[in-house]
Structure 1
């Protein structure tokens, strides 16, 4: 069991690559522990060997003593036989002596039988007196003594009649002694009452009754031992049994009062445990309170019963052994019961530490209490309880996502199946419920008062939250893919856009902290919830995961906005984009129309999109417009003729776009700078188009060095759109491209990485 626990603890310590640095320290720690265990094992083995050797010596000495007794008895038997031969007329003397003994035995038996009913009546009178004074039972010893004598009379008479082999007389005697059995049952019932309520008797200070009970039980114990010893001694020496009949006077069989006494202790405690169980099932917080009697009983034994009982009984140890076994059986029974609730299981899991502490105060060391009160199943129970919480967590998350998926699939209704928060922002309907459920499950784990449970549950929650981010992105991407290259108009497009906005808003709500106002996003509130329930070491590690989760919310939010922008081009501008850089381009106002569409979208969504996402939305529109614009060189029919005013047209398009972005009140200066910086690539684009044919390799080289991640395919498409394109131009560019790629510096990603 120790090895299992150690390996589990080791696996708990090694979760991450950084934890490998702990291996040397862990190796030293486990080496030290191994040395300590080895030392304990050697010491224990030595003690065990000494005990075994002492036991073997004792057995040898006992065998030697038994053999000596046998030898002496044989000598005595021999001497008796020799003495008989030495004494003249010994047979006659022996016969007369035997006749006299038999006569006296018959006289004694006759007197006992004559007085039997009278004596039994006196005993019944004493029992009636004790029944009227159950708190004291002052006649207990007198009754026991007299009943013992009457039992012996009956047993002797029945033994003799059995030897006579007279069924008629045997039946007569059985009828004659029938009252005795009823009286014995009456006495045994009184003994049982005292034994069952012995703790209460001790607490009430009735020491004399305790002592009387102990005297009775001890006398019966001695009698039982004597009977068993004689039975064992005569078992293999039947020929000697007839010569020593006088030795067998008294009880002929064991009566088991000591065993019944111990059984009464057990039955009383079992009854109390049953009451504790019912209260515990009704209220899992009442386990410790419901078991107060358990420790009060043992304390009463320690303080009040030990001085009154025979020392050889070791009564405190006896009670402790019985009570501990019952505690073990009670707890294991609850654990194995499939109807035991998680709250009950949790209380049981936290009980052993308190139990052993209380037992230690009473004088019982943990290693003396066997078996282990939970059979060493604490690790298993921790894992099971943690899995139970995780099971409920997964069930909740599954139900929530199914509801969200249903709302998403049925979004073609008024309001798109969405809610709006107090600021008017679009929100999905179930995010609040999900975070509330997570907090409730953290509470459930925290109620275990075990950091290992809470930490394991939080780990799984973070994994599930990351999975949820991925699942949402996949669901939205799959639905959005239907609108790209769609041959017919599909319903639900605007509702999909609403859901993209709502999902982006949800992600911001998860991480939207405002310390000045004391308002925190769901993620920070979640961390604050479990922070006091975990260790500082775990908190350091989990903060890395929290940061990763935070980044995931940012990424998913941005992804939704980016997907919104690309959908505008895939659906709204589906018929416009193919005309760019073709002959129709010179006469249309496509760029102006797209800017007007942008303005309409911004006006439509500025009040329902989180304010922190509005400039990101406009930035994504600007970037996507640039990407699509540059990609139009691949349009069918795209051509830049030297005589056409393509330079002025490109300048006009770029100016129209710049005018919109620069004058937009929702863009910060920082974002404006980013947009302008990215659109600067149009200058390089124009240079490649208008430069002299001979200068093309040089211009392309400059472009490649500035935009190191630009693709040759796009450059080739631009060159092919020139009206003076030929294979020589392309060959020269490719040769120069190869040289540049070999020695250029690579920096951060540029806009050209996204232009295909």
Structure 2
């Protein structure tokens, strides 16, 4: 190709592209859309940056203002110190006056401390009386705050006294004071236990409507927290006063108090109380074999989300505090269940409970469950689903193995007849039990409305079923081979094959009735794969049923093998064994019609009649066969009539005609054919049965005794020529002739 022609192709291609004007119009609209989105995004970013800039500026101003105020305060304090220093120079003997003043103040403070120590026992008794009276007469504890106020004053006095004693070098002072404050310490501990007891029974108080006590409890916690915050501020200020000139301000009021961390302890009490309820629920399940019940969580969280926030300061954020506590306990319970020998039903309950838990949050909580840490383990790949799947698969495998082994043992030993159902049909009990268990589990998971669980369980069920199908194929094949090759086998194989065929056809029906309706509950992403696996499993049951029928037919064929070996022999013309063959088939048909499910019996009749046709045609390959023209045709028609009468009691006429038509097309056609008509007969045969073997036709023609050898050779040459001229339809569906091979005879 020349360069010019190549350029022309390029130009033509570009021109063709440019002619697609609608694409250019779409490009313009996309550009406009992107520009609008960019403008909107720019405005949003600009607004957010302005907000952050304003917040940063306000923060800088506030920080600068705090520095100025701190410096001003230090300047004032230094000014006061300067005045004190100047006063020393203005007044003679100022140090002596200052010392006398300090002595007086210390004496007064000591006198006040002695008075307070003398009244300490009385004050503690008053507080105890207040608390006792409320506990005995009013559960709302109206004087609880008053008792706390008085107790706080006594604690402050104790802390200051102990602090001052610690500054002295004498140890006996601290010991004496410690002994004096023993009653106060006991009362303080008792009061704290009372408050924490209310914290432990918070939801019980809410359920009886005692909200006033809860309000007072949280007021006390709030007051303790405020005192702790003040102490932290004092200590922080003291840690920042590093200048020696600022030393006089180190000993600020309140610095002697100890941190109580009341709110932290209260949260620990909340945690312990909720954890105890979870532990009790789990213990009841383990020790008393009771059902695991966690629905009480929803009542508690309803109070935590709706009621408690109105009874306490917003700074406590009680809704989130209890959300974290309950979720932590729920996660811990899940971990405990995984580390224990927990039944699969409990995991299924927990999966359903997590779903209800999330729905509850969406309806009642001021935030999402996903905002709470630790996160839940309830996703499609969560530990609950994985553990339930593992246990379910393990259990169903154990059930199936146990039932399979018992069923196989009964199938192999055949010590008694198979079980009879209410309709008188044979069956194997293990199959029915297995599907009852499957149905029970499917009904349970259907109630969960959890797509991931449904998908996983269905996949496990079908995996186990397909494995069982493969095992049964091996067992059936092995038992049939033993039956056909040796006589030393337990009787009743036909009955057990019939029972197994019945069961597998029922299983296919059970699949449609039990499992198919649950597919709509599975996840959309897996539904197609599940349906494919479902179809494979159903086909497997139907195939097993067909195998059972076919093996019964093989047993029948094996029973009539001696009689089939005499077909078309010289003695056959005087005394045909066809009646014996047909009677054998009829006996098996009678046995099967009594104990075989109706739909399967029709399949059995079709396979049996086909088997009779195949075995009859195989007789052509018997050694020593002769076809004596009209006599052979008459005897063949007589044999076919016997078969039609036997099967005609159960099969429709059109089915019988189609079944025995190959005999008429082949045998009667080739026996009636002459030199001029053999080609037409052969074409009619091949048109109906494209895979009819040429060797079979040659055997019939070669063994005809009503024709001379020269005519026979010419007829064989004609059919060979016709066969080579015919188009072979190897891609067509095989006919009955594909199963006709030499039996008990050497190939031609």
State the SS of the aligned residue for 2:257.
coil
Q: CA deviation at 1:146?
A: 4.0
Match for residue 740 of structure 1 among 703, 722, 726:
726
**Which residue does the alignment assign to 1:607?**
594
Q: Is the aligned partner of 1:266 residue 2:281? A: no
Cα pair 1:234 1:241 within 8 Å, conserved: no
Judged with a 3 Å threshold, the aligned counterparts in structure 2 of structure 1 residues 119 and 436 are, in CA distance, closer, same or farther, namely same
Name the structure 1 match of 2:35.
none
The match for 2:660 is 676
2:160 to 144, 156, 161: 156
Specify the alignment match of 1:237 in structure 2: 241
Deviates more, 1:218-227 or 1:374-383: 374-383
Aligned residue for 1:667, secondary structure, equals coil
- CA distance 1:610–1:278, change in 2 (3 Å): closer
Q: Secondary structure of 1:653's partner?
A: helix
Query: Which residue, out of 613, 630, 641, partners 2:617?
Result: 630
For 1:581-611, what per-residue CA distance to the aligned partner results, in whole angstroms no more than 9, with x for missing partners? 4556556533343234334444455433445
Other structure's SS at 1:89 match: helix
Equivalence for 2:501: 504
- The 3 A distance-change label for structure 1 pair 207 and 467 is closer
CA pair 383-78 structure 1, distance change in 2 beyond 3 A = closer
Q: Can you list the C-alpha shifts for 1:101-159, whole angstroms capped at 9, x where unaligned? A: 42243123311331233321122212331123223555544444444444344433433
Q: Which residue pairs with 2:4 in the alignment?
A: none
Equivalence for 2:689? 707
Q: Aligned pair 1:751/2:739, yes or no?
A: no
Change in Cα spacing, 1:252 to 1:406, as seen in structure 2 (3 Å) is same
From 282, 295, 308, give the equivalent of 2:302.
295
Compute the displacement of 1:189 (Å). Answer: 3.0
Aligned to 1:477: 477
Cα distance 1:471–1:510, how it changes in 2: closer, same or farther (>3 A)? same
Deviation at 1:541, TM superposition (A): 9.4
Pairing of 1:710-721 with structure 2 (within 5 A)? 710-715=692-697, 717-718=699-700
Distance between the aligned counterparts of 1:577 and 1:720, measured in 2? 20
Q: TM-score, normalised by structure 1?
A: 0.77
8 Å CA contact 2:670–2:700 kept in 1: the answer is: no
5+ unaligned residues in a row in structure 2: which ranges?
1-37, 742-748
Alignment gaps of 5+ in structure 1 = 1-37, 512-520
Alignment correspondent of 1:8? none
Counterpart Cα distance in 1 of 2:169 and 2:478? 101
Q: Distance in 1 between matches of 2:631 and 2:252?
A: 136
Offset at residue 183 of structure 1 (A) = 3.2
* Residues 1:148 and 1:656: Cα distance change in structure 2 (over 3 Å): closer
Look up the SS of the partner of 1:575 in the other structure. helix
Task: State how 1:302-381 maps to structure 2 within 5 Å.
Answer: 302=309, 305=311, 309-311=312-314, 313-317=315-319, 319-321=321-323, 323-329=325-331, 331-359=333-361, 362=364, 364-366=366-368, 369-371=371-373, 374-377=376-379, 379-380=381-382, 381=384
Between the aligned partners of 2:507 and 2:654, the Cα distance in structure 1 is: 25
From 382, 386, 403, the equivalent of 2:385 is 382
Q: Which residue of 2 aligns with 1:406?
A: 409
What is the deviation of 1:482? 3.2
Query: How far, CA to CA, are the matches of 1:393 and 1:162 in structure 2?
Result: 73
Alpha-carbon distance, 1:410 to partner:
0.4
CA 1:505 to 1:701, structure 2 compared with 1: closer, same or farther past 3 Å? same
CA distance in 2 between partners of 1:558 and 1:218 (Å): 80
Distance 1:115 1:538, change over 3 A: same
Deviation at 1:720, TM superposition (A): 5.9
Please state how far the C-alpha of 1:260 moved relative to its aligned partner.
2.9
* Superposition CA RMSD, Å: 4.4
Counterpart of 1:171 (choices 168, 172, 175) is 175
Shift in CA distance, 285/394, structure 1 to aligned 2, threshold 3 Å: same
Contact preservation (8 Å) 1:126, 1:139: no
Query: Relative to structure 1, is the Cα distance of residues 91 and 396 closer, same or farther in structure 2, using a 3 angstrom cutoff?
Result: farther
1-structure distance, mates of 2:615, 2:118 = 122
Matched-pair contact (CA < 8 Å) for 2:692–2:738: yes
1:71-114 CA-partner distances (Å, limit 9, x unpaired): 44554466456656766715857624642442243123311331
Provide the C-alpha distance between the structure 2 equivalents of 1:44 and 1:376, rounded to a whole number of angstroms: 37
Note the 1:558-577 alignment, pairs <5 A.
Answer: 558-570=546-558, 572-577=559-564
Matches within 5 A, 1:410-425: 410-411=413-414, 413=415, 415=416, 417-425=417-425
Is the alpha carbon distance of 1:138 and 1:123 closer, same or farther for their aligned partners in structure 2, counting shifts above 3 Å? farther
Question: Would the aligned equivalents of 2:241 and 2:250 in 1 still touch at CA under 8 Å?
Answer: no
Paired with 1:374 and 1:741, the residues of 2 have a C-alpha distance of 69
Q: Is the 8 A contact 2:563 2:580 kept in 1?
A: no
Contact 1:199–1:300 (CA under 8 A) maintained in structure 2? no
* 1:347 positional shift: 2.8
Measure how far apart 1:755 and its partner are.
1.6
Task: Quote the residue 2:489 is aligned against.
Answer: 491
Between the two proteins, the alignment pairs up a number of residues equal to: 689
Contact 2:498–2:548, Cα closer than 8 Å, also in 1: yes
Task: Provide the rounded CA distance (Å) in 2 between the counterparts of 1:661 and 1:684.
Answer: 16
Compute the displacement of 1:456 (Å).
Answer: 4.2
What's the CA shift for 1:557?
Answer: 3.6
For the pair 1:621 / 2:622, whether they are aligned, the reply is: no
Return the alpha-carbon distance in structure 1 between the equivalents of residues 179 and 332 of structure 2: 46
SS of residue in 2 equivalent to 1:710: coil
Residues 617, 250 of structure 1: alpha-carbon distance in 2 compared, 3 angstrom cutoff: closer
What secondary structure does 2:429 align onto?
coil
Say if 2:445 and 2:453, in contact at 8 Å, map to a contact too. yes
Cα pair 1:196 1:268 within 8 Å, conserved: yes
How far apart are residue 523 of structure 1 and its match? 4.9
Shift of 1:746: 7.3
- List per-residue Cα deviations over 1:446-491 (Å, max 9, x = no partner): 343435434543454455445544543442223223344x3x5343
Q: Matches of 1:82 and 1:613 in 2, distance apart? A: 116
8 Å contact kept, 2:328–2:373: no
Q: For 1:93-104, what aligned pairs fall within 5 Å after superposition? A: 95-96=95-96, 98-104=98-104
- Equivalent residue of 1:252, what SS? coil
Are the counterparts in 2 of residues 276 and 291 from structure 1 also a CA contact under 8 Å?
no
CA 428–678 in structure 1, closer or farther in 2 if over 3 Å, else same: farther
Aligned-partner SS, 2:258 = coil
**3-state secondary structure, aligned to 1:364:** coil
CA drift of 1:652 comes to: 0.4
1:721-751 alpha-carbon deviations (Å, 9 max, x no partner): 5684999987775554333125x69765432
Find the residue that maps to 1:261 and give its secondary structure.
Answer: helix
Answer yes or no: is the 8 Å Cα contact 1:220–1:257 preserved in 2: yes
CA distance in 1, matches of 2:463, 2:611: 33
Does residue 133 of structure 1 match 2:120?
Answer: no
User: Contact between 2:88 and 2:94, CA under 8 Å: does it hold in 1?
Assistant: no
Deviations 1:182-227 (Å, cap 9, x if unpaired)? Answer: 2322332333344444555566666665555444333322221122
Take 2:377 and 2:593, find their aligned partners in 1: how far apart are those partners? Answer: 64
> Residues 386, 44 of structure 1: CA spacing in aligned structure 2 closer, same or farther, 3 A cutoff?
farther
Note closer, same or farther for the CA distance 1:347–1:609 as it changes in structure 2 (3 Å cut).
closer
Please name the residue that 1:119 is paired with: 119
Q: Supply the distance in 2 between the matched residues of 1:209 and 1:423 (Cα, whole angstroms).
A: 72
Change (3 A) 1:181 1:46: farther
> Structure 2 length normalisation: TM-score?
0.77
**Cα contact 2:304–2:322 (8 A) shared by 1:** no
Contact persistence 1:112–1:153 (CA under 8 A):
no
1:371 match: secondary structure: coil
8 Å CA contact 1:451–1:534 kept in 2: the answer is yes
How far apart, in 2, do the equivalents of 1:615 and 1:301 lie?
Answer: 73
Which one of the candidate residues 192, 216, 220 is aligned to 2:196? 192
Is the 8 Å Cα contact of residues 497 and 549 (structure 2) preserved in structure 1? yes
User: Could you tell me how far apart the structure 2 residues matched to 1:609 and 1:360 are?
Assistant: 56
